[in-house]
Amino acid sequence: MAPDQAKPLGVRGALLPLGAVAVAIALPFVLRALGLDFYLSLASRIVVYAIAATSLNLVLGYAGLVSFGHAAFFGLGAYVTAIMISEGVQSGPLHLAATIGVTALAAFVIGAISLRTRGVYFIMITLAFAQMLFYLANSVKGYGGDEGLNIRVRSLFSLGAYLLDLKNPLALYYVALAVLVLALLALARFAPSRFGRAVLALRDDDLRAEALGFPTYRYKLVVFVVAGALGGIAGALSVNLQGYVSPNALHWTQSGTLMVMVILGGVATVWGGLAGAAVLFLLQEVLASTTEHHEFWTGWVLLAVVLFARQGIVGLWTRRQAPSLP
């Protein structure tokens, strides 16, 4: 007998994602046609931060772990790539491998320690780890110290005869977009999987999940490490976009911004990270041109979402009936 609520992804269900990808692919050309090339860097910033917010959503939303130190991985990824470039290594694949390796290892160590705590202690200990890295980046004068690190060249990927240079804004945008699409596909696949459902269950009640036989600590650590590595990739893309990284990429306000994106967009939703990043940046863009106090008004929007849309912006058009697992 077929299980209840089995909803295969039908034509209608696939329409929105495919439409969104089509719009995202066409965007640079539309902007150029309209003479709004300037906005391509904003679009890239949205995509890069959408990757970072999506990675945090995995931890914060799906696993219910309120990590207040996600900037650690974002900033670490940015620094790994920037330092390699400043040391003369320009190979993109090497940047990617090193970024994933270092951030995954950092996430493993930070996760292994902080996941032994819960609640407020978990929030504080993840924050403390991120702040430690922030102060470390400030004190390492060889790599810019508190002034940050500028890079003159960018990650270079050679695809046969063709060279993909992330210095090209278009190349960066499409590479970031590809990473985001892959991340969202993986997330959409993760949630209804056996593993994903177990993670959602331990978010509800990890004591119960453990008592049933789920190795909850190990599951949380896997999620934390994957999210850390993905956050690191976002950081590596960000330094390629901006040509610059400073300790601020590791600061707790950066962690806060990512949390705001997740909550704004929709906790534990596939599209939440993207929606949050897009709305936050667009809001800042619009408000910054009309008022000096854009953060004040952004605050009101966040407050309204938290109070009236518990599932964030995404929840506004995917109204759920009864609570149910994917």
Partner 1 sequence: MTKDASATPLLDVRGLEKRFGGLVATDRVDLRVDPGEIHALIGPNGAGKTTLVAQLGGQLASDRGTIVFAGADITAWPTHRRARHGLARSFQITRLFRSASVIDNVALAVQAVSGGSLAAWRPARRDTALFERARELLDTLGLDSKAAHSIDQLSHGERRALEVGMTFASRPRLMLLDEPMAGMGREESTRMEALIGVVRQQCAVLLIEHDVDAVFRLADRVSVLVGGRIVASGTPATVRSDPAVIAAYLGDDADAA
Among 37, 195, 291, 299, binds partner 1 (CB under 8 A): 195
Q: Give least dist CB 207 to partner 1, A.
A: 6
Q: Give least dist CB 195 to partner 1, A.
A: 4
Among 23, 30, 211, 282, binds partner 1 (CB under 8 A): 211
Which residue, 109, 85, 24, is CA-closest to 236?
Answer: 85
Residue 215 to residue 212: CA distance in whole angstroms = 9
- Interface with partner 1, residue 212, by CB under 8 A: yes
- Interface with partner 1, residue 27, by CB under 8 A: no
Residue nearer to partner 1 on the CB measure, 5 or 117 = 5
Q: Give least dist CB 192 to partner 1, A.
A: 5
**Antiparallel, parallel or unpaired: β 156-159 and 244-245:** unpaired
- Interface with partner 1, residue 5, by CB under 8 A: yes
- Interface with partner 1, residue 4, by CB under 8 A: yes
Residue nearer to partner 1 on the CB measure, 25 or 325 = 325
Alpha carbon of residue 212 to chain centroid: 31
DSSP at 91: B
Residue nearer to partner 1 on the CB measure, 129 or 190 = 190
Query: Interaction with partner 1 in 215-234: which residues (CB under 8 A)?
Result: 215-217
- Interface with partner 1, residue 12, by CB under 8 A: no
- Interface with partner 1, residue 207, by CB under 8 A: yes
- The stretch near partner 1 (CB under 8 A) out of 40-48, 132-140, 187-195, 284-292 is 187-195
Q: Using the Cα atoms of residue 276, residue 65, residue 72 and residue 56 in order, give the sign of their dihedral.
A: negative
Among 192, 287, 294, 297, binds partner 1 (CB under 8 A): 192
Among 108, 157, 214, 297, binds partner 1 (CB under 8 A): 214
DSSP output for 137-189: HHH-GGGTGGG-EE-SS--EEEETTEEEETTSHHHHHHHHHHHHHHHHHHHHH
CB pairs under 8 A, 24+ apart, for 130-136?
130/68, 130/69, 130/70, 130/71, 130/72, 130/75, 130/250, 130/252, 130/255, 131/69, 131/252, 133/72, 133/75, 133/76, 133/250, 134/71, 134/75, 134/247, 134/250, 134/251, 134/252, 135/247
- The stretch near partner 1 (CB under 8 A) out of 188-196, 236-244, 284-292, 309-317 is 188-196
Residues at the site binding partner 1, with contacts judged by CB under 8 A: 1-6, 189-190, 192-195, 197-198, 200-201, 203-205, 207-217, 322-325
